[in-house]
Amino acid sequence: MKKFGIAVHGGAGVMSKRKLTPEREKIYRDGLEEALNFGYQILEKGGSSLDAVEAAVQSLEDFPLFNAGKGAVFNHDGKHEMDASIMEGKDLFAGAVTGIKNIKNPVTLAKAIMQQSDLVFLSGDGAEKFAQEYKIEFADDEYFFSQERFDQLQRALKKSVVTLDDGADKKFSTVGAVALDNKGNLAAATSTGGLTNKRFGRIGDSPMIGAGTYANNKTCAVSCTGHGEYFIRAVVAYDIHALMDYKGMLLKEAVDFVVKKKLVDFNAEGGLIAIDKFGNIEMPFNSEGMYRACRRNGDETLVAIY
C-alpha cells in the first residue's frame, strides 16, 4: 500500500498547563483535528499534497485562536500584517507573501502566486494588488478583530515590548502543514501573523522558503514555528533537507540534530513538523509544548500539545 500522510501544527512555546483549562484545550485539539481531516480527506481521495496542505492551513487560518489569518495578532499600528508560504517538492515551485493585510487566507494567495505567475515572493501593497487581480478573497478589519488579541497588544504597548502571541505565556502560534500524497509528492505550507506589536515591517521565518518552509521530493517537507529571527539565521527547514540529502541522515536524525542541538545551542526556542518521502512523520520541539497533529493511511490520528 502506498503511504500518504499529513501533519499540522498550531505553534510551539510555553503553555502553562494551569492556564490551559480542559475546555480550552479541547477547543485547540478540535481545531487541529479538523484542519488535519480537511487535508487528510484530500489525500485519501487521491488529491495532491499541495491541495492538502493548503486546505489544512486554510482551516487553521480560519480558526480564531491560532496566530494566522482570522486569529492574527495586532502589529504596533493596530493592524494585522500577515505572512505565508507554500512549496511543493516535485519541481521545487514555491509562493510566499509578507506584510499583507485584509487577505482572508494568506496561504491561498501564496499558492496563487506560485501557480499563476513565475514570481515567488510578494510583499504588502503589491501582493494585495496581485490578490485583487487574481480574485483572492479579502476580509475587513472587523473579521480579524478579537478582544483577546487587542488586549495582548495593549499589554505589549504598555511594556513597550514586541512579544510572542501571548505575552503572558510566550506562545508561538503560527500554523503549518506538511504532506505526502500517494504519487510520492511532498508539500509544505506555513502561515502567521508574526509577533504582537511588531514594527518596521518585521518579517519572521514563516514566509521565507528555506527558513520556515521547505519541500523537496528527494527528502522531506518541513514547516517551522519558533523565534523567527533565529530560524532565519539557522535556515532551519532547508537545513533538514540538506542533512538528509548531503549527509544521508534519516529524517529523525536530521530533525533531532537541528531542533534539539543546533537550535538549543543557539538559544532558539521552537519546533517543526516534517514528513519524508517514505511517509515518516516527525514533530520535534525544544519548548514546553507544540500544538500538533498527524495522520497516515493505516494509522490512528495523533493530536498532542505537550
Catalytic residue among 174, 190, 192, 213: 174
Position 213 contacts ligand ASP (CB under 6 A): no
C-alpha cell at 185: 509528492
Choose the binding region for ligand ASP from 38-46, 70-78, 97-105, 200-208 (rule: CB under 6 A): 200-208
Position 205 contacts ligand ASP (CB under 6 A): yes
Distance of closest approach, residue 298 Cβ to ligand ASP, in angstroms: 31
**Which lies closer to ligand ASP via its Cβ, residue 80 or residue 296?**
80
Choose the binding region for ligand ASP from 27-35, 152-160, 167-175, 292-300 (rule: CB under 6 A): 167-175
**Which lies closer to ligand ASP via its Cβ, residue 204 or residue 279?**
204
Distance of closest approach, residue 79 Cβ to ligand ASP, in angstroms: 15
225: annotated active-site residue: no
**Which lies closer to ligand ASP via its Cβ, residue 62 or residue 253?**
62
Position 49 contacts ligand ASP (CB under 6 A): no
Distance of closest approach, residue 44 Cβ to ligand ASP, in angstroms: 29
DSSP the chain: ----EEEEEEEEE---TTTS-HHHHHHHHHHHHHHHHHHHHHHHTT--HHHHHHHHHHHHHHSTTSSSGGGPPP-TTS---EEEEEEETTT--EEEEEEE-SBS-HHHHHHHHHHHSS--EEEHHHHHHHHHHTTPPB--HHHH--HHHHHHHHHHHHHT--B-SSTTT-B---EEEEEE-TTS-EEEEEEE---BT--TT---STTSBTTTEEE-TTSEEEEEEE-HHHHHHTTHHHHHHHHHHHH---HHHHHHIIIIIIHHHTT--EEEEEEETT--EE--BSSSEEEEEEEETTS--EEE--
**Which lies closer to ligand ASP via its Cβ, residue 195 or residue 294?**
195
Block residue for cell numbers 514528513: 275
Position 279 contacts ligand ASP (CB under 6 A): no
Question: Do residues 205 and 224 touch, judged by C-beta distance below 8 A?
Answer: yes
Among 37, 98, 173, 196, binds ligand ASP (CB under 6 A): 173
Block residue for cell numbers 502589529: 75
Residues 179-198 contacting ligand ASP, CB under 6 A: 192, 194-195
Size of site (CB under 6 A) for ligand ASP = 15
Position 163 contacts ligand ASP (CB under 6 A): no
Distance of closest approach, residue 192 Cβ to ligand ASP, in angstroms: 5
Position 174 contacts ligand ASP (CB under 6 A): yes
The residues, ordered by sequence, that sit 6+ positions from 300 with a Cβ below 8 Å of its Cβ are none
Position 228 contacts ligand ASP (CB under 6 A): yes
**Which lies closer to ligand ASP via its Cβ, residue 85 or residue 173?**
173
Site residues (vs ligand ASP, CB under 6 A): 11, 67, 172-174, 192, 194-195, 204-206, 225-226, 228, 231
Residues marked active site are found at 174
